[in-house]
Amino acid sequence: MTQHRLPISQTLKSALLLGASLLAAPALQADTGTQTEALYQQHCASCHGTDRLGGMGPALLPENLSRLRQTEAEKAILDGRPATQMPAFGDTLSQESVAALANFIYQPPEVTPVWGEQEILNSHLLPHPKGSLPNEPVFEADMMNLFLVVEIGDHHVTLLDGDTMEPIHRFESRYALHGGPKYSPDGRYVYFGSRDGWITKYDLYNLKVVAEVRAGINMRNIAVSADGNYVMAANYLPHTLVLFDATNLGLMDVIPVENGTGDSSRVSAVYAAPPRGSFIAALKDIPEAWEISVTDAKANVRRMQTDTWLDDFFFDPGYDHLIGAARDGKHGHVINLDTGNTVANLPLPGMPHLGSGITWEYRGKRVMATPHFRTGAVSVIDMDNWEVIKTLETEGPGFFMRSHENSPYAWVDVFFGPNKDKVHIIDKQSLEIVKTLQPAPGKVAAHVEFDRHGEKLLLSVWDKDGAVIVYDADTLEEEKRIPMNKPSGKYNVWNKINYEEGTSH
Ligand code: DHE
Decide: 355 in ligand 1 pocket, CB within 6 A.
yes
Residues 207-260 have pLDDT tens digits of 999 999 999 999 999 999 999 999 999 999 999 999 999 999 999 999 999 999
Decide: 178 in ligand 1 pocket, CB within 6 A.
yes
pLDDT value at residue 459: 98
Decide: 500 in ligand 1 pocket, CB within 6 A.
no
Specify the 3-state DSSP secondary structure of 98: helix
State ipTM: 0.98
Q: Closest residue (by CA) to atom 44 of ligand 1?
A: 489
Q: Closest residue (by CA) to atom 39 of ligand 1?
A: 179
Rounded distance, CA 92 to CA 103, Å? 18
* Residue 155, CA atoms < 13 Å, CB-side half-sphere: 20
Q: What is the pTM of this model?
A: 0.89
Q: What is the DSSP letter of 355?
A: G
Decide: 180 in ligand 1 pocket, CB within 6 A.
yes
Query: Helices in 44-201 by DSSP H: which ranges?
Result: 45-48, 70-79, 95-105, 117-123
Determine the distance separating the centroid of ligand 1 and the alpha carbon of 352, expressed in angstroms.
13
Q: Cα 500 vs. chain centroid, distance in angstroms?
A: 19
Determine the distance separating the centroid of ligand 1 and the alpha carbon of 346, expressed in angstroms.
23
- Residue to mutate (ligand 1; options 67, 152, 175, 178; most atoms within 8 A of CB): 178
Residues 89-127 have pLDDT tens digits of 999 999 999 999 999 999 998 888 899 999 999 999 999
Nearest-CA neighbor of 134 among 30, 184, 46, 208? Answer: 208
Residues 6+ apart with CB under 8 A from 443: 421, 461, 462, 463, 466
Q: Closest residue (by CA) to atom 42 of ligand 1?
A: 179
Residues 334-380 have pLDDT tens digits of 999 999 999 999 998 889 999 889 999 999 999 999 999 999 999 99
Counting atoms of ligand 1 from 1, which one is nearest the CA of 449?
A: 48
Strand partners, 269: 282
Residues 39-95 have pLDDT tens digits of 999 999 988 988 898 877 788 998 888 778 999 999 999 999 876 778 999 999 999
Decide: 424 in ligand 1 pocket, CB within 6 A.
no
pLDDT value at residue 59: 87
* Residue 430 CB neighbours (<10 A): 10
Portion of the chain with pLDDT greater than 70, in percent: 94
Decide: 179 in ligand 1 pocket, CB within 6 A.
yes
Q: Closest residue (by CA) to atom 36 of ligand 1?
A: 178
Instruction: Give per-residue burial for 1-20: e unless 16+ CB within 10 Å, then b.
Output: eeeebeeeeeeeebeeebee
Asked if the model's pLDDT at residue 484 lies above 60, the reply is yes
**Domains along the chain with CATH numbers:** 8-105 (1.10.760.10), 352-505 (2.130.10.10)
Amino acid present at 197? G
* Residue 355 CB neighbours (<10 A): 22
Mean pLDDT, to the nearest integer, of 490-499? 97
Portion of the chain with pLDDT greater than 90, in percent: 82
Strand partners, 448: 459
Residues 136-185 have pLDDT tens digits of 999 999 999 999 999 999 999 999 999 999 999 999 999 999 999 999 99
Decide: 233 in ligand 1 pocket, CB within 6 A.
no
- Give CA torsion, residues 151, 156, 160, 166, to 10 deg: -90
